[in-house]
Structure formats: structure tokens, C-alpha cells
Structure 1
Amino acid sequence: MTLSEITESVHVDASPDEVWAVVTDVRRHTEFAGPKSITKEIEFDGPLEVGTRWMAHEKFGPSRFDAPSEVTAIDRGHDFAWVSFPPMKEENRGAGGRAYWDYHLEPEDGGTRLSHHMRVEEPAKGALPLKAMYMVLNLPKKQREAILTTLGNVKEAAEHPHPTR
């Protein structure tokens, strides 16, 4: 069952290739998510292809944990998708629910329409506490705000690239 599903988009005054270079720079995802993101650092050494994994070092409240992600789809210049797993032992990976993420790019008016989508699936066991947390903390609203922050930061990075990147 889906706990949360959100899609937002923004027009970026940069070519799809320029936007693609930004959204596929996985190590910069924490920068784009902003200081309120629970992800504090990402370890990734590529290549960017289906099945490649990275590790996100995260902090939620006082808790610190590591959560892996795995690339699920790549269509160069158009689609980049991945799944994130909650922190669990490898043999139980996926039993704790999953978060699916993707970027979709389309040419638009001399630039790019960039969409960012997320879907959070509840865990096979222990869904009730997670559902309660989503409701009490109003997480879907915060997730939407986070996606909008990410899109704004990606837009800025693509439209005004840093000279050393």
C-alpha cells in the first residue's frame, strides 16, 4: 500500500542535456535537497546504470542510519529512477518498505520541463507505527515541500552552473 505519492515539476531554462547532468550527479542530491533533508551525505562511485547502488548517510531526529539506494531505470536525457530502502539487515532489505524516486525530463519552450516523483510504500510488517508517524508529523506535506525545494535547487544549478563543476 502507498503511504505517500507526490509529483511536482518546474520549467528550467537549460537544455535537457544540461539538466540531465545535474540530476544524475548523485553525490549532489543532498545539496539539492537542502539543509532540512534527512540525507546528509551520499557515497557513490558510479557508473550510473541500472543496478548500481549508493549509500545515503541519514539523520532523522537524534537517529543516524545508512540507507542504500539502487538505480532502477535510465533513459539518457529523459528518465532517471531509483529505489531507496530503509536501514535494515541486507537479508531483510525491502521488507521495511521502499521509497521510489524519479526525474523525468522533456524539452519545453527552449528549455526543459523537469518532473520529480516519489512514492513511499509501507513495510510488509509494522506499517501501523509508520502510518501514525506519517499522520502525526504530516510527512506528505513536508515531502512535497522537500520536492519543491529540490526542484528549485536543481533549476538554479542547471541555469547557473558553478564554473568548477
Structure 2
Amino acid sequence: MSDLSATVTIAAPPAQVWALVTDVKRMSEWSPQVWRSFVVGGPVRLGTRFFNINHDGWKHWPTSAKVVRFEPHSEFAFRISENRTVWAFSLRPTDDGGTELTERRETPDGIAPISNVLVGVALGGQEKFRSDLASGIRQTLERIKAELEG
């Protein structure tokens, strides 16, 4: 029930799409919730840690993440420490040389209780927040598509 996803087809090969979705420092260009990202260490790979500053209007909050799946040109996912959610991008080549890109918010271990409380108190409640996340996923995918199809 807590998982969210959307898919878009992009007229660009998986290698180009992969380069964008794994460029964590640029995620604020596409995601309406991410204000800034900071990667710890060198290139993003399995186990890489990074920090985001997210926002909703004037409200800002930090999150920390760890890359938990990293299959080049296929699957990129990271777990948010604070709420236990996993954000994933799946890439699938299309017959015409493009890429089907799916973004998902997964909740394999549920959502941390403190996160549920904070969403209720500071972000308008679960229904609004979930709706905002679903809209944000679609916006993120459309912005990535626009960047690549320019």
C-alpha cells in the first residue's frame, strides 16, 4: 500500500539515462522534493552514502541514504535511513533504442514510526504526503525525459 511508482519512455539509450539517474548531486534538478544532495567519497556505486536536504515550501529536512542496488544500465536504488524507504530507478531498453524508466518508492520494511508522526505533524498528513510523492515521482521522470530528449 505504501509503494508508489511511475514509468516513462525516453528516446535515449539506457547508458544515457543511467548516467543521469546515478548522478545524485544533480537530483535536485529533477526531483521537486530534493533541494540539495551531497555524495560522500568518489563515484556513486554500491554502498555509496549521500545526504539530501529535502524541502516542502519553506520546510527543510535532512535525510541520509545508502546505495543498496547498483546494476549498471538496469537498476539503481538507495535506502533512506530515517524512514526505511527505498527509492529505486529501473531501466529497460525498448525495441526502438530508447529506455523505459520506472521510479519507485518501496517500503519493504514499512515506514519508520517516527517518520509517520513527523509527516502527520509537519507535512500535512499521510494522504497529502503520499499524493505529493506520487506527483513528485511523475515530475522527476518528466524532467529527466526532457533533459535527455532536449
* Shorter-normalised TM range: 0.7 to 0.9
Check 1:77–1:68 CA distance in 2 against 1; reply closer, same or farther (3 A cut).
same
Superposition RMSD on alpha carbons, in Å?
2.2
Q: TM-score, normalised by structure 2?
A: 0.83
Moved over 4 A (4+): 60-63, 124-132
Residue 134 (structure 1) aligns with: 126
State how 1:136-151 maps to structure 2 within 5 Å: 138-151=128-141
Match of 1:157 in 2: 147
TM score, norm. by length of structure 1: 0.77
Which sections of structure 2, spanning at least 5 residues, go unmatched? none
Is 1:98 matched up with 2:84?
Answer: yes
2:108 is aligned with 1:117 = no
Aligned to 2:66, which of 51, 66, 70? 70
Shift of 1:130: 4.5
Deviations 1:31-70 (A, max 9, x none): 1013xx2x21111153212111011123345543321111
User: Sequence identity of aligned pairs in percent?
Assistant: 24
Counterparts of 1:62 and 1:11, CA distance in 2? 33
What is the Cα deviation at residue 156 of structure 1?
1.1
Residue 99 of structure 1: CA displacement? 1.8
After TM superposition, give the deviation of residue 126 of structure 1 in Å.
Answer: 7.5
Q: Report the Cα distance in structure 1 between the residues aligned to 2:27 and 2:7, rounded to whole angstroms.
A: 17
Q: Which has the larger radius of gyration?
A: 1
Conserved 8 A contact 2:116-2:126: no
Give 1:114's aligned amino acid.
Answer: L
Structure 2 CA distance for partners of 1:66 and 1:78, relative to 1, 3 Å:
same
- Asked if 1:43 is matched to 2:35, the reply is no
Kept after mapping to 1: 8 A contact 2:119/2:129: no
CA gap of 1:158–1:62, structure 2 versus 1, over 3 A, is closer
Contact 2:86 2:105 in 1 (8 A): yes
Over 3 Å counting, the alpha-carbon distance change for 1:126 and 1:65 in structure 2 is: closer
Alpha carbons 1:56, 1:68 under 8 Å: kept: yes
Report the number of matched residues.
143
The structure-2 alpha-carbon separation of the partners of 1:156 and 1:126, relative to structure 1 and needing over 3 Å to count, comes to closer
Q: Say which SS state the counterpart of residue 143 (structure 1) adopts.
A: helix
